[in-house]
Every structure is written in C-alpha cells, then in structure tokens.
Amino acid sequence: MDRGAASVVTVVDMRWQDERLTALDVDEVFGVFEAARLADGREGAGGLPSFLTGPGPHLVATESGRTVGYLHLDTAGDSFGNQVAELVVHPAARQRGLGSAMVRALLDRVGDAKLRVWAHGDHPGAAALAASHGFERVRELLRMRWEVGQLPEPVWRPGVTVRTFVPGADEAAVIEVNRRAFSWHPEQGALTVADLERTEAEPWFDPAGFFLAVDAEDRVLGFHWTKVHREREPLGEVYVVGVDPDAQGGGLGKALTLVGLHHLREAGLRRVMLYVESDNTPAVAVYTKLGFGLWDADVQYAR
C-alpha cells in the first residue's frame, strides 16, 4: 500500500485486467515501482516483482496515457485464507486521491472476502491511507542488513553434516521440512514441490548456495537457501532458513545461517539482507548477534 491522499484526482482510465499484463504494461508498471522506490529512498534488492508477470487481477491507473498507479490482487491468497494486495502510486500522482480511489476499487472487487494489503517501507502516508479505509496494522516484516565482516565458523552437533541441494532428488524432503518449520507462516508454509521446481528454473537459482543439514542416514534436518540479487549492486540474501521442529536445539539454525553467510562472503558479496517476522524473537536475536541490523520494515494491514 503506497501513499495516498484525500483530495480528488482526475484519472483518464482505471481498469481491472484479469489476464496477464502485456510486456508494455509490465515495463510501464515497473517504472512506477522504481520511481516510488527512489522517491521513498528505499534501497535494496529491487528487480521486477514476480506478480507483474503472473496472472491477475491487475488494476492499472493511467492519466493522459501514462501509467500512474498499479494494484495487484492475489486471489489465491495466503495460507490463512486472506486475499493479498499490493499497490503503488507514482510519486508525481500522489496527494491527489489516487491511492484512495484504488483502495475503493479494491474493496468493491473483494466484497466481504478477507483481505490484507502490503505497505512496503512503513510510510506514514500508507498508514493514514489504511486507517481512512478501516484497515489495521496486523503484521510487521523486518528487513535486516549485514555488512560483510568477521564470521565464526559453523559448529555442527555430532552426527550432522552439511551438503548442497541436488535438483531432482531433494525437493520432497526440503518441502516437508519447510512445511513443518513454517506451519505458522502465511506464505512460506504453503510452498509446494511444484513451487520449488518452478523456482529452480529462475535465472538466479543456484544449488551451490542451497545448503542442507543432514543426519547419518542423509535425512534432511534443516536448510539454508541463499539468493543473490544482481539487478544493481550485488546483494546477498538469507532467503530461507528452516529447521525441522524435531531437530531444533543445539544451534542447528545458527550453523546453517553461518554456512550460508560464509558462502555469500566467499562469492564476493559485500552486503547481505534478510526478512524476518518482527515477532519471531528467537530468530531476530540470532541475526542480531551475528551482526545484522534493522534496515527497514514492511507492514501488512487488514480489515
């Protein structure tokens, strides 16, 4: 949810598209995201949001033939039955009521369905827009950053070794650990084997940066999936760290985090980021002790 306004804006066209966006629409909408990111001083990974090239519905707002606003509604939603929306307004079109008009169109579209809307960067303007339409803050996703420095070596408890992911062989085992580790999470816990296989086809996927902690029988106990963003200055990411609940304790999560950080540092990355739920106190504590500091936060609002 981007910043909105209270006054009236004249919009030449505001249309829902249930089909995929055209390549031209994708380029224009991405330009709106980039303009908003730069205006708001939001550093980081950037890149093309995955939902831009996926199925709709998409709401595209244009003024004088120029795209000035965009909203995506994920009707499949999260694991808890919420439809999930993202919206952005071009900085040049803010403070003229476009954000409010798009939210009203969204509410008309979803009716009585459960709905959550993301506000990236936790801007006061987004909070005001949310409040004006009856939304409340329900979730905070922290973005933390680590400037590459000294790292301790990972310590593995007896009987545990680490190896890298083998495409075509490890998907089911990783997804089962992920399901158990993230049963509480609205997005991550719903990951399927098919989702993982699709991600393996992405240009950024690298099995050499996907680490599995296994026991003597090669049973997967936990994993650390790293990612490298190369859209601008290369930026590493602690993409997902998951540990089977039956294998928790004894520092396995910390060891997995460290092996991934060593990999990213040895690959030449100078900065590493991660996302973590603000109420996941144990994880936040581990990352803080490793030298991660708060970068910014994303907030989810719900009716």
Binding residues: 87-89, 187, 227, 237, 241-243, 248-254, 275
As a whole number of angstroms, the longest Cα–Cα distance in the chain is: 67
Within 10 angstroms of residue 175's Cβ, the number of other Cβ atoms is 18
Rounded Cα distance between 144 and 261, Å, is 14
Contact present, 106 and 59 (Cβ < 8 Å): yes
Query: Which residues lie below 8 Å from residue 216, measured CB to CB, with a gap of 6+?
Result: 159
Which residue numbers belong to the known binding site for acetyl-CoA?
Answer: 87-89, 241-243, 248-254
Which residues touch 113 (CB under 8 Å, ≥6 apart)? 83
- Alpha-carbon span 14 to 129, nearest angstrom: 19
- 184, 168, 153: which is closest to 79 by C-alpha? 184
The encoded tokens of residue 27 equal 């380029």
Rounded to 10 degrees, what is the CA torsion of 46, 259, 156, 188? 20
Nearest 5°: the CA angle 52, 57, 59 is: 80
Q: Residue 232 gets which letter from DSSP?
A: S
Dist. CA 147–CA 257, nearest whole Å: 15
- Enumerate the β-bridge partners of residue 68: none
Neighbouring residues of 191: CB distance < 8 A, sequence distance ≥ 6: 175, 178, 179, 182
Residue 78 corresponds to which amino acid?
Answer: D
DSSP 268: T
